[in-house]
Amino acid sequence: MDKNIERILNLLPQPVKNFYIENIHRNITEIRVRSGFDIKVTADGKHIAIQNTVTDKKFLENLYYSFCNNTVSAYEDQTANGFITLPGGNRIGLAGKFTTDLQGKTVLSEIISMNIRLSGFHMVEVNRNILDFHKGLLIAGKPHTGKTNFVKNICVALCDYIVVVCDERNELYSRFLNCDFIINQPKHIGVMQALRTMNPDYIVCDEIGSDKETTALLNRLNSGTKFICTVHADDINALKNKPNINVLLNYQVFDKIVFLDNYGNDFFIKDVYDL
């Protein structure tokens, strides 16, 4: 078992760990902890309540402090945006009451629930035709369709090139990837740093879509560097309905789009568009 996932499981009720071990062959992607309810585990896309695991707010608070290594102040910037990233790319989504302190900072004042998203890296073969693009590759799909894992495998396939990964939430880093990583920097800043200092052939960004990220990609359109990015969208119409993504498509930042999907535990390429 991955040591980072094992550390998470050791903080949860024993039935959750038992379920994980007994179902390790399945695609387990999330563990959702809500005060007053049984913990739910998402396996093969199904949300399964684990009996006799009801938690309370005190349990959630202690879990939160454990994930912060008992130093909440070190994670203030992340928690203000509703998440904590743990080693191995595992991300904790936080829900509850957010307030503003005297300095105007957003503070998580009460935790009501959290969603533990488990990261994984499963080797798959990347068809060389997917990498046949001249400007940019956009990888799209609804949540839990393997976008992040697919990007990691593309990084493996591009090991003969200089690849810089703008890893804003520390979800993509892996010691097995022969890439340069810019971690915990906003993607629009990471793109600028990569181009100024790392001389990349490819820049990888996960989950793009903000105004600043769109501007950063447009400003570097003719830099000679190719972009590989992911976005949440399950078809071409949903993609075009995202204003910032539509701007990038109109300016031909991307000349290939790959749509991913899943069926149970199987992930597959649903559509490929050459623009």
Task: Kindly indicate the confidence band of residue 119, based on its pLDDT and cuts at 50, 70 and 90.
Answer: confident
Per-residue pLDDT, 18: 96
pTM > 0.85: yes or no: no
Looking at residue 105, what is its pLDDT? Answer: 85
Q: What is the mean pLDDT of residues 63-84?
A: 89
Q: Name the token pair of 214.
A: 């769109």
The CATH number of the structural domain formed by 128-274 is 3.40.50.300
CA distance 18 to 229: 36
Residue 107 above 90 pLDDT?
A: no
What residue type is assigned to position 185 of the chain?
Q
Question: Residue 28's CB: how many other CB atoms inside 10 A?
Answer: 19
Mean pLDDT to the nearest integer, 61-71: 93
Strand partners, 54: none
Extents of the domains making up the chain: 3-117, 128-274
- List pLDDT tens digits, range 185-197: 999 999 999 999 9
* pLDDT score of 264: 63
pLDDT of 265 > 70? The answer is: no
Q: Give the residue among 114, 105, 41 at the shortest CA–CA distance from 83.
A: 114
Reply yes or no on domain 3-117 having CATH 3.30.70.270.
no
